[in-house]
């Protein structure tokens, strides 16, 4: 018998407690599953028992899921299917035990952990933010393989089941109760007591499979062949619209769930196992799994040897797009914020931007009304520096102008208390230069949020040559407390993410100047998996900001960053993008159609290039710039770049990351392609690609595994 599960008896009830030694979490490794199997087999011989209650001894974790390292190692389809069958066999036995069973869910109950709970007759969940319930397998490019595609929809109904599995949504205990996934929600401390009463009250009663469905239409959708076919088709269509078919796991999961809904358990489990085997060996799944490990690593990365200070109070300078978002973020983590701008109109719009974020969270039931009210009340607007002397941290988000920022930093550094940290949200200006006139440049740092602040998961922490390690440690710590992933970047023009992103925007503009339509370019980039095309992104950022940053990079990084005449003309025409309703596209509400006037600015038109060439030029430019960032120690390694570009610029996760994708390209072929590009585009323009050619010629890889 292993040591991860404790079996005890009290009167006629059995208790099984997961407590994996030397681990903060319970994970269903093969040995743990075997141990569980043994116990269930022994309990199967005990018809005298009146019930089994399964719990976890780990605080805030029930079972985190299957062992992802084992999933990563599977390279053969039949091994994948076999792995699923092994788990299914254990859970089938659990389901068939001769007495009622119950899972006591005290925290995260994910993937294989939830599938275990679903094989029980009943489930009770503990109240609290740590209790998250769901099947997030499609995020790893696979589908639930231990019976989840069958047992979850049978509790929630097909529609909800499809939604939950395909979107990998994690539910709060209350939402899980509404969805029919759990049978009750109680205080975590009372789980065992309430579980015993519950199972005693139910007596011999076992799980009921058919979920209650309200209304005739829902009944028709859930219980008829045609209804289920309609639901499957709608789900696939919306998955396709959201992912452009780039995430096959979600599509296959939808199909398997819908077919399994009306199948015998045996046939359904086999269908699920085979689908798991098919998906688990794909490159997409391998990329998503390696990204999972990378992001777990960055959640804990110790960037500097220093202890962080606590940020209890914060001040924000500028109540614009970013200032309003930053103030909202701090307030949502119960940190009071003083927000300063130059007039009440600006402050009003900053406050209403913050309110809009709270309203959205309320609508999606992410927070309660009281939390929104308390959060908003923590943001206090001001036209002067009153309150700034109490702030532990000031975040500046005013206009992107070095001279203005220098003068404001110099002024603020004389108002704040000694030891306060001054952070700039600048998009590209070096922090050392911003700090030059301050009283203590060691307290100045970059804290680069991405737009929209509440949604983007990355923060770049920019460390100047003078920034103290303690300040960096504090920014890393506060970023994590705000729910973000920080990467620490060396002070330089454009830092990491914007520097790379701008190169791809400049390349798109060059392709446009060569005569390729901007709609074609955007579509090619979208089809590759980017969240938006280059011109759509420029419209979102605003041509004023985008042009300015690109121009500053050209001035300071050199000719390879050349901003072409079209961008300049569009900027000068004040077609600034979404904020003014007109840019490369005409914007009306959420609608967008191409601005045909752009074509009047072009000297060359109607050049047709294959999508693959458009994408290659964009990606190769970013790769070439990444080579330089690594050479210049802007970042430490390939992982920094991949986390930055996925979390900060939306580089498609299923490709594993910019540099992981770059490493899949055959070096000799890449060098040949680049040489061909060089012949076509001329020496000056090719300078932007040259670092990648040298890198490829030397046969180098970004990851040294
Ligand atoms: P914005 O133009 O929306 O807002 C700037 C605000 O600062 C305005 O309300 C202005 O009245 C105020 N302001 C100007 N001087 C001030 C002063 N001395 N004291 C207090 N308030 C002052 O600009 P946005 O877009 O919010 O950008 C702010 C900073 O954040 C810039 O450095 C920008 O490069 C950076 N950033 C912008 C992103 C974006 O997507 N917009 C993304 C990441 C960084």
Indicate the angle between helix axes 148-156 and 158-167, nearest 10 degrees. Answer: 130
Of 399, 454, 549, best ligand 1 pocket probe by most atoms within 8 Å of the beta carbon: 399
Helix (H) or strand (E) holding 113, with range, is helix 112-118
pLDDT (mean) for 502-521: 97
> Looking at residue 606, what is its pLDDT?
87
Confidence band, pLDDT 50/70/90 cuts, at residue 215 = confident
User: What span, in angstroms and rounded, lies between the C-alpha atoms of 148 and 200?
Assistant: 27
The count of other CB atoms within 10 Å of the CB of residue 370 is 8
Kindly give the pairing relationship between strand 444-449 and strand 458-463.
Answer: antiparallel
Give residue 399 CA to ligand 1 midpoint distance, Å. Answer: 4
Ligand 1 atom index nearest CA of 325: 26
Region 496-500: mean pLDDT is 98
Q: How many secondary structure helices (H) and strands (E) does the chain include?
A: 30, 21
Residue 353 has pLDDT above 60, yes or no: yes
| Interval 359-413: pLDDT, tens | 999 998 889 999 999 999 999 999 999 999 999 999 999 999 999 999 999 999 9
pLDDT of 346 reads: 96
- Is there a contact between 278 and 78 (Cβ–Cβ < 8 Å)? no
- Annotation says 37 is catalytic: no
Whether residue 153 is predicted with pLDDT greater than 90 in this model: the reply is: yes
All structural domains of the chain: 5-281 (3.90.226.10), 314-493 (3.40.50.720), 498-633+665-697 (1.10.1040.50)
Predicted pLDDT at 561: 96
Strands 393-396 and 421-424: parallel
**Residue in 37, 448, 454, 587 annotated catalytic:** 448
CA distance 642 to 636: 12
Task: Report the pLDDT value the prediction gives residue 439, as an integer from 0 to 100.
Answer: 96
CA pseudo-torsion sign 182, 184, 188, 191 = negative
- Residues with CB under 6 Å of ligand 1 are 317-323, 340-342, 346, 397-400, 408, 425-427, 449, 451, 541, 545
For 264-292, give the DSSP string.
-HHHHHHHHHHHHHHHHTSHHHHHHHHHH
| Residue-by-residue DSSP string for 288-300 | HHHHHHHHHHHHH
- Choose the residue to mutate in 397, 501, 538, 552 for probing ligand 1, maximizing ligand atoms within 8 Å of C-beta: 397
Q: What secondary structure, in 3-state letters, does 455-494 show? A: CCCEEEEEECCCCCHHHHHHHHHHHHHCCCEEEEEECCCC
- Residues 88-97 have pLDDT tens digits of 999 999 999 9
Q: What is the mean pLDDT of residues 148-161?
A: 95
C-alpha–C-alpha distance, residues 136 and 92, integer Å: 21
User: Which element (helix H / strand E) includes 149?
Assistant: helix 148-156
CB neighbourhood size of 208 (10 A): 10
Percent of the chain with pLDDT over 70: 100
Between CA 557 and CA 428 the distance in angstroms is: 11
**Which atom of ligand 1 sits closest to the CA of residue 343?**
11
pLDDT digits (tens, 9 = 90+) for 49-58: 999 999 999 9
Residue bearing tokens 């752009």 = 598
Q: Looking at residue 654, what is its pLDDT?
A: 95
pLDDT > 70? residue 1: no
How far does residue 494's CA lie from ligand 1's centre (Å)? 16
Ligand 1 nearest-atom number relative to CA 346: 9
**From 79-83, 186-190, 222-226, the region with the lowest mean pLDDT:** 222-226
- Regarding pTM above 0.85, the answer is yes
Dihedral sign of CA atoms 446, 561, 450, 343 in order: positive
To 10 degrees, what angle do helices 497-513 and 565-572 make? 100
The secondary structure of residue 497, as a DSSP letter, is: H
Report d(CA 583, CA 571) in Å as an integer: 9
Check whether 217 has a pLDDT greater than 90. no
Q: Which helix (H) or strand (E) holds 216?
A: helix 216-223
Query: Helix-strand-coil percent breakdown of the chain, rounded to 5?
Result: 55, 15, 35
State the distance from the centre of ligand 1 to the C-alpha of 317, rounded, in angstroms: 8
């Amino acid at each position: 018998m292993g040591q991860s599960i404790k079996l005890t008896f009290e009167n006629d009830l059995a208790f099984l407690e997961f407590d994996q030694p030397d681990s903060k979490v319970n994970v269903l490794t093969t040995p743990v599953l075997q141990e569980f199997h043994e116990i269930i087999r022994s309990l199967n011989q005990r018809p005298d028992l009146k019930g089994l209650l399964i719990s976890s001894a780990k605080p805030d974790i029930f079972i985190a899921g299957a062992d992802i390292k084992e999933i990563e190692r599977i390279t053969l389809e039949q091994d994948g299917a076999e792995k699923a069958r092994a788990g299914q066999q254990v859970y089938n036995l659990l389901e068939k035990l001769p007495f009622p069973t119950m899972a006591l869910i005290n925290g995260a109950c994910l993937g294989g952990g939830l599938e275990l709970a679903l094989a029980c007759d009943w489930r009770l969940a503990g109240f609290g933010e740590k209790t998250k319930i769901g099947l997030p397998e499609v995020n790893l490019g696979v589908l639930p393989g231990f019976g989840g595609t069958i047992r979850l929809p049978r509790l929630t109904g097909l529609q909800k089941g499809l939604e939950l599995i395909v979107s990998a949504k994690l539910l709060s205990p209350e939402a899980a109760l509404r969805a029919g996934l759990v049978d009750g929600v109680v205080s975590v401390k009372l789980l065992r007591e309430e579980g015993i009463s519950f199972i005693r009250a139910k007596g011999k009663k076992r799980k009921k499979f058919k979920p209650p469905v309200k209304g005739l239409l829902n009944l028709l959708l859930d219980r008829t062949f045609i209804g289920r076919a309609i639901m499957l088709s709608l789900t696939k269509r919306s998955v396709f619209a959201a992912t452009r078919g780039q995430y096959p796991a979600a599509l296959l999961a939808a199909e398997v769930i819908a077919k399994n809904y009306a199948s015998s358990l045996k046939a359904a489990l086999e269908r699920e196992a085979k689908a798991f085997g098919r998906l688990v060996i794909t490159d997409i799944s391998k990329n998503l799994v390696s990204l999972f490990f990378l992001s777990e690593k960055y959640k804990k990365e110790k960037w500097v040897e220093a202890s962080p200070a606590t940020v209890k109070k914060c001040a924000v300078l500028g109540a614009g797009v970013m200032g309003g978002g930053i103030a909202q973020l701090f307030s949502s983590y119960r940190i009071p914020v003083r927000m300063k701008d130059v007039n009440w109109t600006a402050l009003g719009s900053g406050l209403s931007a913050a309110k809009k974020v709270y309203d959205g969270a309320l609508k999606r039931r992410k927070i309660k009304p009281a939390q929104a009210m308390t959060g908003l009340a923590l943001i206090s607007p001001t036209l002067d520096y009153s309150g700034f002397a109490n702030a532990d941290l000031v975040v500046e988000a005013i206009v992107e102008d070095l001279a203005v920022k220098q003068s404001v930093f110099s002024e603020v550094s004389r108002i704040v208390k000694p030891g306060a940290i001054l952070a700039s949200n600048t998009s590209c200006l070096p922090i050392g230069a911003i700090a030059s006139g301050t009283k203590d440049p060691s307290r100045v740092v970059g804290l680069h949020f991405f737009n929209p602040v509440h949604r983007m998961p990355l923060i770049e922490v920019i460390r100047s040559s003078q920034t103290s390690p303690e300040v960096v440690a504090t920014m890393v710590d506060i970023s994590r407390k705000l729910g973000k992933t920080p990467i620490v970047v060396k002070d330089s023009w454009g830092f990491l993410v914007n520097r790379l992103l701008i190169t791809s925007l400049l390349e798109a503009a060059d392709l446009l100047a060569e005569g390729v339509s901007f709609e074609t370019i955007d579509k090619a980039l979208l089809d590759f998996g980017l969240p938006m095309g280059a011109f759509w992104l420029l419209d979102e950022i605003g041509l004023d900001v985008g042009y300015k940053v690109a121009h500053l990079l050209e001035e300071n990084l050199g000719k390879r960053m050349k901003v072409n005449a079209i961008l300049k003309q569009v900027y000068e025409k004040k077609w600034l993008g979404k904020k003014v309703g007109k840019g490369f596209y005409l914007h009306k509400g959420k609608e967008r159609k191409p601005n045909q006037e752009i074509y009047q600015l072009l000297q060359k038109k109607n050049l047709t290039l294959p999508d693959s060439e458009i994408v290659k030029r964009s990606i190769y430019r970013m790769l070439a710039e990444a080579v330089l960032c690594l050479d210049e120690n802007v970042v430490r390694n390939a992982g920094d770049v991949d986390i930055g570009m996925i979390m900060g610029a939306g580089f498609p996760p299923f490709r594993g990351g910019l540099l992981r994708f770059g490493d899949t390209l055959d070096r000799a072929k890449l060098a040949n392609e680049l040489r061909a590009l060089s012949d076509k585009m001329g020496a000056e323009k090719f300078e932007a690609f040259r670092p990648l050619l040298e890198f490829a010629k030397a046969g180098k890889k970004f990851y040294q595994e």
